Amino acid sequence: MSKSGKIPDDLVAQVQFLSDRTCCICRIPNRGIQVHHIDGNESNNDIDNLAVLCLECHCKTQIKGGFVRRLTPDVVKLYNKSWRDIVENKLLPSGDPNTLGEYKREVYLEISLTCHSWKNNYIILYPGNFIGKDDTEYLDIWEKMEKKGEHMYSESEWKKYLPLFREAINGLIIKFQRIIMMYSDVITPEFKTLLIRSIRQLETDQYFYLSFPEMLNIFEDKDRAFNIRFSEVINNLSYLAHKADEMSERNKI
């Protein structure tokens, strides 16, 4: 691991411990990590200004614009606090029902936020505005996306949303698999089954989207078939997010 600035070794060790030596952004274990100064000031070694990031996520703190949006200091700070809370609860001895309830709630909240990350990327790419006066006609933004999103197939349209079905869905699958692996102690068997089914459906939707240009001749209505690719992912993630929110509420202190 490389150290940023002149962070004392004992402080580096403490920061690693608080994050379980895992990147606070992607939270994928066993990756190479660095200690990052959140505010960009390498002389500010306040422990709350230090975050553990993997090399990939650390690079994203330097990126501006594009599909991979820059990880701003405010965003990193939120991720850092959230991950430290989860790690603290995970490392505490079991037995305290309040602590266990908060731990469960954070895990289900993480699942919901992962679903919303794909939704946010979709809204960024879609030319329409999903926030408007007609919001009361829909139960939530998920339903509005499913009913108002319209996609006509063209090569340029397919390429435009390719990152959403390639990189973004890959990210969802990796996070869901990690959540199943790391938090099997608190996720119910029923919810694990739901996550596994969601992963399988995402893999199927991804495959069909990536293969769509080669499959055009099998569709009677290519525009309808293309639009279905979006609605199926939206319905899948919407259902999963709502179920995760329900489980999070059950464990509220």
Q: Where are the chain's structural domains?
A: 1-91, 98-253
Coil, helix or strand for 248? helix
Task: Provide the pLDDT for residue 171.
Answer: 92
Task: Provide the pLDDT for residue 215.
Answer: 92
DSSP secondary structure string, 118-140? Answer: HHHHHHHHSSS-S-SGGGGGSSS
Dig out the tokens for 52 from the structure. Answer: 């553990």
Angle, CA of 227, 165 and 22, to the nearest 5°: 150
Task: Provide the pLDDT for residue 238.
Answer: 95
Burial class of residue 222 (count of CB atoms within 10 Å of its CB; 0-12, 13-18, 19+): middle
Task: Provide the pLDDT for residue 136.
Answer: 66
Q: Which residues of the chain fall short of a pLDDT of 50?
A: 1-4, 66-68
| 31 CA to centre of own chain | 17
Task: Provide the pLDDT for residue 200.
Answer: 95
Task: Provide the pLDDT for residue 170.
Answer: 94
State how far the Cα of 218 lies from the Cα of 224, in Å rounded to an integer. Answer: 13
Task: Provide the pLDDT for residue 4.
Answer: 43
Task: Provide the pLDDT for residue 135.
Answer: 61
Residue located via tokens 């701003």: 72
